[in-house]
Each structure stands twice: as C-alpha cells, then as structure tokens.
Amino acid sequence: MAGERVLVVEDNEANTALFTALLEARGYCVRCIDDGEELDRVVAEFRPRLILMDVQLPGVDGLELTRRLKADPATAGIPVLAVTAYAMKGDRDRVLDAGCDAYMSKPIDTRALPRVLADLLAQSKVGD
Ligand code: MN
C-alpha cells in the first residue's frame, strides 16, 4: 500500500541511504533516525506502521530499544524488523527474545526485503 509510514533506526549512512531508496521506490513514506535518543518523540509524532531497527547502534542498542517499545502498550503493536551486521549462532534467538517480529542480516537481501516488509505491515496494529 502506498504511503505507509516506515521508521528506519540506523546509524550507518550508507545503509540508511540504501533502505531509504529501497523503501521509497516501493512507495513507502520513510523517516530515519540514527540512534535511540529521539525514538519516543519520533514514534509519537510520525506513528510508524513498521520500524526497521538496526541492532548495533551507538548508546542504547536496537534490542533494548525494541524491548522498551514492546513493553509499552502504546507502541507494542508496531512490528519491528531487526537488522544485524553479522549473523551469528544465537542471534536469531536474541533478537526474537527481545520482541522483534522478524530479523534479517546484513548485507540485506534486497529482493527478499519487500516481501518481509509487506508481511509485517499486514500484522501492524498501527492504523493509517
Ligand atoms: Mn549500526
């Protein structure tokens, strides 16, 4: 669906540019932040239907940010797609234990990403 709001939390500029290009090409409305400091404010204001969350962030990491989002009834219904820089044994469990709804490792499979996003958006509890 065109215009669906996706928030990207990612500290690497090249990845941010890649995600933005991929998402905008699909008609999504994209907003990016590079750490968790503004997360609460941006989520409240932008009301993302989905969050694409880098796990390795400066300061509070993406797993802890996800735990906080999922602990708050106001934001628990936003699907979180975690993105990790390396796929290690046990990563998947850590990511899902933190409450992330799905997980992809970098480098991102750009052909698979649109389908993953569409599946997650179908589960989003955030309305238009
Ligand atoms: Mn990072």
Least Cα distance to 79 among 46, 38, 126 occurs for 126
Q: Ligand 1 centre from 105 Cα, in Å?
A: 12
Residues that place a CB less than 5 A from ion ligand 1: 11, 54, 56
Dihedral sign, Cα of residue 101, residue 106, residue 110, residue 111: negative
Q: Ligand 1 centre from 112 Cα, in Å?
A: 20
pLDDT at 127: 85
Dihedral sign, Cα of residue 98, residue 105, residue 6, residue 46: positive
**Looking at the predicted structure, is the pLDDT value of residue 63 above 60?**
yes
What pLDDT digit, counting tens, does each position of 23-33 carry? Answer: 999 999 999 99
What pLDDT digit, counting tens, does each position of 74-99 carry? Answer: 999 999 999 988 666 788 889 999 99
Helix axes 62-71, 39-46, angle to 10 degrees: 50
Instruction: Provide the 3-class DSSP secondary structure of residue 84.
Output: strand
Q: Ligand 1 centre from 34 Cα, in Å?
A: 8
Q: What is the mean pLDDT of residues 27-48?
A: 97
Q: Ligand 1 centre from 70 Cα, in Å?
A: 21
Give the phi and the psi of residue 28 in degrees, each rounded to 5: -75, 155
